[in-house]
Homo-oligomer: A and B are copies of this chain.
Amino acid sequence: MHQPTSLPRRRLLAGSASALAAAGLASFQGQAMAQAAAPAARPLPGYAGFKNADAVIVHSSTTIETRRSAFGSSVVTPTSQLYVRNNLPTPPESIVADRDAWAVQIDGVNRPRQLSLRELKTMGLETVTMVLQCSGNGRGFFPSKPSGTQWTVGAAGCVVWSGVPVRDVVKALGGMAGGMLYMTGTGGEVLPAGLDPKSVLVERSVPLSAMEDALLAWEMNGEPVPLAHGGPLRLIVPGYTGVNNIKYIKQLAFTAKESEAHIMSHGYRISPPGSKGDPSQPSVQEMSVKSWINSPIPEDGNRAAGLVQIQGVAFGGMHAIKGVEVSIDGGKSWKQARLVGPDMGRYAWRQFVLPAQLPKGTYQLASRATDVRGNVQPETRGENQSGYNNTSWADHAVTVTVA
């Protein structure tokens, strides 16, 4: 029994990793768990022990990627296989011991104060489905090999978030103070000792326009937000790359200026190749139109000739998807794919499918999405020093062989 494709076995592995961590037999970084995570090149870190080890690639103790073959076709990405990218070590589990006691300071409003999660839950409720995507997703396709995790497609997922709209909180606290231009969120991670806090603090500013659909979220995919994904409370900024969605949020401030934390002023900037990040360069914030194929892909092995359902995901970032084209000849010709399954709103991704008869041969499969504003996914990536925002359809194409 217990073949690799068996769900119970995979869960067992994850559970065992947690068990080792809980028993103090593994360090926080998880180096001692090789036994428990045999199918992965690296073991799952303890805080992510509930992940499906067969569905993810563990790049490091703070970076875990969903396998392209694991995305499936059911729209929502299960929490058990959603990517992880933490900028600092995960806070201790004690912060999710009494979730409702978590407190966030709200500043830059007319009546600034601290609010507990218990209080936030009484103030309003909204649910938003959103593509959560790391700014560096697709970095692995840059020929320049920028430093950082070599993500291909799996630093992204489509997640249902529930919480209180930020605008309801602002209203309850007397409205925004005058002169504010940014919404600035500060993470509650424990900062490493001996360093200038500004050099490591996770604090990001987004334009005020991003507040309209933003949430302070305590639930994702029907469960309390796990510690691995920012629980007990995470700032959700739909349409904005992952780093702007502050985990363990301890302060939400409306500010006249952008944060001076390094991660805002110099990190996550679109820097010309060869240059360093600085505040004059565009910050990595709003996502734009993108798609990729998840099946068939090379890792599934050769396929028999005949009918195949070419499928993948497409999202517009800030705008809904209008349509997706698929090519089987590397972009020489395109056919319109069909959007499949529920439309979960403009920030969610859509599944697409194109049935195709494929005789024996080798095919370059590509997808190209268009959003409702008419923005078309580009052929080429925008070159930048750190490998951010790769939406190139050519980079995301796959070559498959039909035997």
Q: A1-B97, A7-B96, A15-B16 are in contact. List 6 more A-B contacts (CB 8 A).
A: A1-B22, A2-B22, A15-B19, A74-B223, A121-B309, A129-B341
A397 interface residue per 8 A CB criterion = no
Note all chain B residues with C-beta closer than 8 A to A219: 72-74
Judge whether A342 and B344 touch: CB under 8 Å: yes
Note all chain B residues with C-beta closer than 8 A to A93: 1-3, 6, 8
Convert A83-119 into 0s and 1s, putting 1 for each residue whose CB lies closer than 8 angstroms to a CB of B. Answer: 0000000001110111100000000000000000000
Q: Give the contact stretch, choosing among A196-204, A348-356, A365-373.
A: A348-356
Most buried by B among A12, A121, A222: A222
Convert A152-167 into 0s and 1s, putting 1 for each residue whose CB lies closer than 8 angstroms to a CB of B. Answer: 0000000011100000
A32 interface residue per 8 A CB criterion = no
Note all chain B residues with C-beta closer than 8 A to A355: 124
A71 interface residue per 8 A CB criterion = yes
Note all chain B residues with C-beta closer than 8 A to A52: 223
Chain A residue total in the interface (Cβ 8 A)? 77
Residue of B nearest to A66 (CB): B222
A384 interface residue per 8 A CB criterion = no
Q: Interface on chain A toward B: helix, strand, loop, or mixed SS?
A: mixed
B74, B162, B220: the one within 8 Å of A161 (CB)? B74
Convert A122-151 into 0s and 1s, putting 1 for each residue whose CB lies closer than 8 angstroms to a CB of B. Answer: 111111110000000000000000000000
Q: Give the contact stretch, choosing among A224-232, A237-245, A388-396.
A: A224-232
Most buried by B among A72, A77, A345: A72
B22, B78, B127: the one within 8 Å of A221 (CB)? B78
Judge whether B127 and A160 touch: CB under 8 Å: no
Assembly CA distance A345 to B75 (angstroms): 13
Convert A47-71 into 0s and 1s, putting 1 for each residue whose CB lies closer than 8 angstroms to a CB of B. Answer: 1011010010000000000000001
Note all chain B residues with C-beta closer than 8 A to A42: none
A residues 286-307 near B (Cβ < 8 Å) are 306-307
Assembly CA distance A55 to B14 (angstroms): 19
Note all chain B residues with C-beta closer than 8 A to A209: none
A9 interface residue per 8 A CB criterion = yes
Judge whether B127 and A97 touch: CB under 8 Å: no
Judge whether A160 and B222 touch: CB under 8 Å: no
7 nearest A-B residue pairs (beta carbon): A15-B15, A127-B341, A3-B97, A11-B50, A342-B344, A74-B160, A12-B18
* A339 CB to nearest B CB, Å: 10
Note all chain B residues with C-beta closer than 8 A to A18: 8, 11-12, 15
A333 interface residue per 8 A CB criterion = no
Judge whether B122 and A309 touch: CB under 8 Å: yes
Note all chain B residues with C-beta closer than 8 A to A344: 342, 344
Most buried by B among A16, A55, A341: A341
A186 interface residue per 8 A CB criterion = no
Note all chain B residues with C-beta closer than 8 A to A81: 222-223
Assembly CA distance A345 to B353 (angstroms): 19
A162 and B96 contact, Cβ closer than 8 Å, known pairs A15-B12, A308-B122, A309-B121:
no
Assembly CA distance A15 to B345 (angstroms): 35
A76 interface residue per 8 A CB criterion = yes
Assembly CA distance A16 to B16 (angstroms): 7
A311 interface residue per 8 A CB criterion = yes
A275 interface residue per 8 A CB criterion = no
Assembly CA distance A384 to B210 (angstroms): 53
